[in-house]
Chains A and B, each alone.
Chain A
Amino acid sequence: MAQTRASKEQGHSIKLYLVTWILLFVLSACSYLVDYFQLQSELRWSLILLLMFLKAGLIVAVFMHMAWEHLTLIYAVLLPPLVLFVFVGIMVHESGYTLATRQISFALGQ
């Protein structure tokens, strides 16, 4: 079993890693340009997130070989972080509350 797996992985050529590397360079350059050209608000945020997820996906799938793993490992590793979105949601709510109380408090001069 280990033998077949090893021989399967040896099938990857160096070219695959070089192509991924170049892609990551291009994507990073793009995210730098987002700041260089001072894009603002929705366009800026969506581009930042898009480029971030593309880069993260390439690193996890190709460099960390996740694309060639069994679904068992893929789901064990990639599903749990999804609960972080719930955490983000809770903290966005909390920040809104904190900001509101601060603004009220400062407006009343206390």
Chain B
Amino acid sequence: MDRITEDKNVHPGMQHGGWRGFVADWSSDRRAFRDVSWGKAMMWIFLLSDTFVFSCFLISYMTVRMSTVVPWPNPSEVFALTIGGTPLPLILIAIMTFVLISSSGTMAMAVNFAQRREGARSAYLMLATAALGATFVGMQAFEWSKLIHEGVRPWGNPWGAPQFGSTFFMITGFHGTHVSFGVIFMIIVARKVLRGDYERGRRGFFTSRRGNYESVEIIGLYWHFVDLVWVFIFAFFYLW
């Protein structure tokens, strides 16, 4: 006990960010992530692992696309929609991108209001985020049914390399699942905020721990990550 108080006084480096803080954080025999709660640290580590999962999908997509002797279907044409007589390339995907970015914007503001302890505003912004997320999943369902109707299957499609279907369903399906789970958890957290759980320290039904507004920040990290993954899918699968 004495040592800990002493350490705090003796090493001013521990109070700093930058390289001195970095070395101090990792070298002493104590928690490395100062100022970061376990919940937030664990969400970051989960997101790191999820990064590797999505990377494996995208790298395997790269591998099959680079090694096939059959031409790859042109995504610009495959995902084109005809609106009012004019065929627009990739238009649905562009709209989906804007919807997901907007949901990230509302989420960032929800986190900001949660940090100011303005529960109601935070909750409504989270519900807006969930609504945008659900819209995204709905548009993805539309896209899937359109492609399935046109004959795209995991083992083949009318336009070229058969691997197109398997990578498409795998990557967008896994991402869509992430969005769907995000929507569900978002609604749960928004309900807790609206009910005032984090003001009164009400115990949760699953862990029986008292929650706090940090839950909003943690679900926010997850949500922004889902948006982040879409940035990479959009670039590599749809635009490349």
Q: Which residues of A contact B (CB under 8 A)?
A: 1-2, 5-6, 9-10, 12, 14, 17-18, 20-21, 24-25, 28, 31-32, 34-36, 38, 44-45, 48-49, 51-52, 55-56, 59-60, 62-65, 69-73, 75-77, 80-81, 84, 87-88, 91-92, 94-96, 98-99, 102-103, 106
Contacts and interface: CB of A to CB of B under 8 A. Distances in A.
A102 B235 contact: no
14 contacts: A5-B35, A14-B112, A18-B105, A24-B104, A25-B98, A32-B97, A64-B224, A70-B22, A71-B17, A72-B25, A73-B36, A76-B32, A81-B52, A88-B62
B69 A99 contact: yes
Contact of B89 (A1, A17, A36, A52): A36
Q: How large is the interface on B (under 10, 10 to 19, 20 to 34, 35 or more residues)?
A: 35 or more
B135 interface: no
Output the residue of B51, B68, B109, B239 with the most chain A CB within 10 A. Answer: B239
A59 B59 contact: no
Contacts of A55: 231
Contact of B33 (A18, A36, A70): A70
Contacts of A103: 69
Given A21-B108, A32-B97, A72-B33, 14 more contacts: A21-B104, A25-B101, A28-B94, A34-B239, A35-B239, A36-B89, A52-B232, A60-B224, A60-B228, A69-B36, A71-B21, A72-B22, A84-B52, A102-B67
A55 B239 CA distance: 15
A63 B109 CA distance: 9
Interface string B96-114: 0110011011011100100
A5 B227 CA distance: 26
B168 interface: no
Given A10-B115, A81-B48, A56 B63 contact: no
